Amino acid sequence: MSSVQTNSGLIAGPTSRAFAMVGGTPLLWRLASLAIFCAVWEIAGRTNFNWAFPTFFETMAALWSMLADGSMIMAYGRTLEPLVIGLVISLSIGVGAGVLMGLRRDAEWITLPIFITMQAAPMAALIPLITFVYGIGLTAKVLAVCMLAMPVIAINSYKAVRNVPPSLVDMSQSFMGSRSQQVFKVILPAASPMMFAGIRLGVAEGFSGVVLAELLITPTGIGDLITFNRSIAKFDHMYAAIFSIVAFAVIAVSLLHRLEITIFRPEKRGA
């Protein structure tokens, strides 16, 4: 990708050349943007505009102490359980239903309206309802993750399959490919970029789901760290917990992108 940008930069004006350079050295610029963000945070914290707002270094120190005494690792142990179970369920049902809806009209008519409703509805409003039915245990939290993650995964998988170029499907048909060859060798690889975009969004939604559940149902894991430290006014610890879950979500989603490229998109490797 970056080499393409550089090429187009060579024939264009100076501005796009500058952009091409940014594209050519992505890591450095990303680090610079991160450094600016941290510096702004540090300065904002030092101005004392809000007594509950810690500086960047205070937050990092709190993060380190929570990592060192094991409380954060314990918390992630609790949080990961509903998150991982919920994501595995959402991925298998979401991708499965999405692909089926893309391939078959009857599946589309039956299933699509459900996912569209689920995606449009504000799911946080339904969390009290889940608690009402399933109590405050693991089931309720897993359901919260699924409700947020599954619709976006299913709908993107469905659209991805529908957007496969018809000539590729004709091609596999004209060379006598069977239906299963058509699905596994042509349609799924061709749909994978859009499908993975949906999966990344779904995983990000899953993180929101688990944090919402831990804040709204019962405080456990990372949600407990946030609520507890807020209640005893240890704001640097509270911010550290929030920071850690954001960083964790970003890393998880980026790793997923890597995984996609290694599995499905050999032509984008090394780009």
Partner 1 sequence: MNMNTAINIQEQAATDAIIEVRGVHKVYGETVTALQDINLDFNRGELTSLLGPSGCGKTTLLKIIAGLLKPTSGEVRVNGRPVTGPGPERAFVFQDFALMPWATVVRNAAFGLELQGVAKAEREARARHYVEEVGLAGFEDKYPHELSGGMRQRVGLARALAVDADVLLMDEPFSAVDEQTRRKFQEDLIRLREVENKTFILVTHSIEESVYLSDRIIMLSPRPGRLNRIVTPEIDRSGDPDLIRRNPEYLDLIDEIWTGLRAYVE
Contact between 186 and partner 1 by CB under 8 A: the answer reads yes
CB-wise, 64 or 184, nearer to partner 1?
184
Question: Quick check: 202 and 153 in contact, CB under 8 A?
Answer: yes
- Pair of tokens at residue 236: 């640097």
What minimum distance in Å lies between the beta carbon of 39 and partner 1?
Answer: 39
Sign of CA dihedral 45, 48, 54, 58: positive
Q: Scan residues 161-180 and list those touching partner 1 (CB under 8 A).
A: 165, 167-168, 170-178
Choose which of 189, 216, 219, 227 interacts with partner 1 (CB under 8 A): 189
Closest of 255, 257, 261 to residue 197, by C-alpha: 257
CB-wise, 185 or 257, nearer to partner 1?
185
Choose which of 63, 142, 154, 190 interacts with partner 1 (CB under 8 A): 190
Residue with tokens 């050295």: 25
Which ranges of the chain would DSSP assign to H, the alpha helix? 2-11, 14-24, 26-46, 56-68, 71-103, 105-120, 127-134, 138-162, 166-174, 179-181, 188-216, 221-231, 235-264
> Looking at 61-69, 196-204, 205-213, 261-269, which segment touches partner 1 (CB under 8 A)?
261-269
Q: Scan residues 131-160 and list those touching partner 1 (CB under 8 A).
A: none
CB-wise, 13 or 266, nearer to partner 1?
266
Q: What is the DSSP string of 72-136?
A: HHHHHHHHHHHHHHHHHHHHHHHHHHHHHHHH-HHHHHHHHHHHHHHHHS-GGGGHHHHHHHHTT
Q: Which residues contact 185 (CB under 8 A, 6 or more apart)?
A: 172, 177
What minimum distance in Å lies between the beta carbon of 171 and partner 1?
Answer: 4
CB-wise, 156 or 192, nearer to partner 1?
192
Contact between 6 and partner 1 by CB under 8 A: the answer reads no
What minimum distance in Å lies between the beta carbon of 264 and partner 1?
Answer: 7
Question: Quick check: 202 and 91 in contact, CB under 8 A?
Answer: yes
What minimum distance in Å lies between the beta carbon of 173 and partner 1?
Answer: 6
CB-wise, 47 or 174, nearer to partner 1?
174
Residue ranges that bind partner 1, judged by CB under 8 A:
165, 167-168, 170-178, 181, 185-186, 189-190, 264-267
